Amino acid sequence: MTPNQKINSIVIVGGGTAGWLTAGIIAAEHNTNGTEINDLVDVQITLVESPDVPTIGVGEGTWPSMKSTLQKMGISETDLIQECDASFKQGTLFNGWKTGGNDAYTHPFTPPHSYASTNLAPQWQKFRNEVSFADAVSSQNALMFQGLAPKQISTPEYAFNANYGYHLDAGKFAELLRKHCVEKLGITHLKANVIAINSSTDGDIESLKTDTVGHIAGDLFVDCSGSKALLLGEHFDIPFCSKSQFLFNDTALASQVPYTNSDDPIASSTLSTAQTSGWIWDIGHVYSSAHTTEERASEELLAYIKTTVSAEAALSTSIRKVAFNPGHRAKFWHKNCVAVGMSAGFIEPLEASALVLVELSAAMIAEQLPANRQVMDLVAKRFNNKFLYRWDRIIDFLKLHYILSQRQDSDYWKDNSAASSVPESLSELVDLWRWQSPWHRDTGHIDEMFPSASFQYVLYGMGFVTQQSPLGSRTDRDAAKVAIKLFEENANITQRWLDILPSNRELIDKINTFGLQKI
Ligand SMILES: Cc1cc2nc3c(=O)[nH]c(=O)nc-3n(C[C@H](O)[C@H](O)[C@H](O)COP(=O)(O)OP(=O)(O)OC[C@H]3O[C@@H](n4cnc5c(N)ncnc54)[C@H](O)[C@@H]3O)c2cc1C
């Protein structure tokens, strides 16, 4: 490409959730229907996917960001619930992570009450033996433990009382996105195998050779081909950085367990139950193959299904093994190719950070779509810096869950607490938080994926103690004056939501029958 050549044509390889979300997010930002609309950049998007290579296709949990992503693309929330077996997720409920016994705590999506201005954590420490941190500062904790919905049937699409994301069927979600992208957003969909990559003299990708639809030329190529990373990995040979020295899980046993009765409760959080060498969530067991065997991991999963669902469900469960190498590429945007989704990397399902990274990556590509080939290298550099930072923060936050555990009942938990397995950036923060509670100052960017509020929920949910200075800072003393009032306000809001919100099951059933009001 010549330096001044405009970027008009985007080719996406892969039709999993990453491919279709990326297509939809870029299309929602630009004009892709071939008509002139004001000064919107006119781009053409083509998505090619293999008819033979299946998508990863496990059930997925999303972050609240998915609401605005789908809304911007013009997808109806009622369609999402009805067509993707979707339900509302308000955060994660962790069982047995602290001691391996009956301990439980939540990481809700809503930050603590008045979090923008007041840090309630130091004030809560005085009452830590009477009330859990999440209960004291968040109304969502009670909703999650009671399986309540985050809104009512009269609440319009995407609006809420308590913030939420979704649990959904990944295959059905990709299909909903495909239909919308093709029918409403003007995206060209081709089914073919990419079998070779044609380069131009400057090393950029010029076109893709396919087995059935000829060559597909483009200006920018997005690699959404899954963990094989066909363009960025296989073609450009960008190294893969394994992070297994920090996070040991590398295998998942994914199961499909149907609800036994049509009126069984639907959890409003992801339930994550710690095991001897990993953890079990609603649809599977993720574990470290260096610490246990597949047989042992399946036994634990089936025992879990037997106790939480039924013996019949355990007998009829089919299990699919998915192996992965935790880590990410050394960079994500190289020449005129950018990787999004599993092709960029994957750590593990804890805290469900994969799809939100897809949303963030696609949003940055869409918002900063290079005007021409010359500026693309600058955008690529910024993209790489931003996402390398984000992967490091994800690793820190996920590892925090493991190092706070008191469990020492297996090598897995012992190895997880070894200092050599903890990133330095995380051990520094944890040392700091022994003396001061996490707060806005501790996270470097305004668009941080895990704000200090998330660290507070996990630290104090796991029983971490921050020693308070007897003198306190001026900010802490100011907060102390308003804390009791804020705790009371939170308790009142919680009671109000408990009085009016239906169960998650009741709301989902109603939406399936009547739909939600459009805004
Ligand atoms: C056990 C497990 C649990 C997970 N849980 C969560 C979760 O709770 N929340 C979350 O956000 N994420 C989760 N993830 C991650 C999430 O599943 C993925 O990030 C997401 O589905 C995106 O995958 P993808 O589209 O990148 O790749 P894939 O779904 O693998 O899609 C790859 C696409 O590339 C195509 N392709 C491959 N080769 C070629 C070729 N030669 N020519 C043309 N096309 C080709 C394939 O046909 C396919 O369409 C989980 C992952 C695993 C393994």
pTM of the predicted model as reported, rounded to 2 decimal places = 0.96
Q: Whose CA is nearest to atom 21 of ligand 1?
A: 17
For the four alpha carbons of 289, 291, 295 and 297, in that order, the dihedral sign comes to: negative
Atom of ligand 1 nearest to the CA of 15: 49
| DSSP-assigned states of every residue in 448-502 | -SS-HHHHHHHHHHTT--PPPPSS--HHHHHHHHHHHHHHHHHHHHHHHHHHHPP
Q: Whose CA is nearest to atom 2 of ligand 1?
A: 349
Rounded distance between C-alpha atoms, residue 203 and residue 195, angstroms: 18
Residue 99 C-alpha to ligand 1 middle, in angstroms? Answer: 33
Whether 13 is in the pocket of ligand 1, judged by its Cβ within 6 Å, is yes
Residue with tokens 């409920």: 93
Whether 340 is in the pocket of ligand 1, judged by its Cβ within 6 Å, is no
CA distances, 511 to each of 21, 157, 171, 516 (Å): 24, 10, 21, 6
Could you tell me the two tokens for 102? 């009956």
The pick from 11, 20, 50 for probing ligand 1's pocket by mutation, whose C-beta has the most ligand atoms within 8 angstroms, reads: 50
Contact status, residue 479 vs residue 119, Cβ threshold 8 Å: yes
What is the pairing mode between strands 215-217 and 205-210?
A: antiparallel
CA distances, 401 to each of 71, 80, 98, 407, 515 (Å): 32, 31, 9, 12, 38
Per-residue pLDDT of the chain (519 residues; tens, 9 = 90+): 788 888 999 999 999 999 999 999 999 999 776 555 555 558 999 999 999 999 998 878 999 999 999 999 999 999 999 999 999 999 999 999 999 999 999 999 999 999 999 999 999 998 999 999 999 999 999 999 999 999 999 999 999 999 999 999 999 999 999 999 999 999 999 999 999 999 999 999 999 999 999 999 999 999 999 999 999 999 999 999 999 999 999 999 998 776 667 788 999 999 999 999 999 998 799 999 999 999 999 999 999 999 988 888 888 888 999 999 999 999 999 999 999 999 999 999 999 999 999 999 999 999 999 999 999 999 999 999 999 999 999 999 999 999 999 999 999 999 999 999 999 999 999 999 999 999 998 887 888 999 999 999 999 999 999 997 666 677 777 778 899 999 999 999 999 999 999 999 999 999 999 999 886
Residue 341 C-alpha to ligand 1 middle, in angstroms? Answer: 7
Whether 404 is in the pocket of ligand 1, judged by its Cβ within 6 Å, is no
Q: Whose CA is nearest to atom 16 of ligand 1?
A: 354
Whether 29 is in the pocket of ligand 1, judged by its Cβ within 6 Å, is no
Residue with tokens 């953890």: 279
Q: Whose CA is nearest to atom 51 of ligand 1?
A: 349
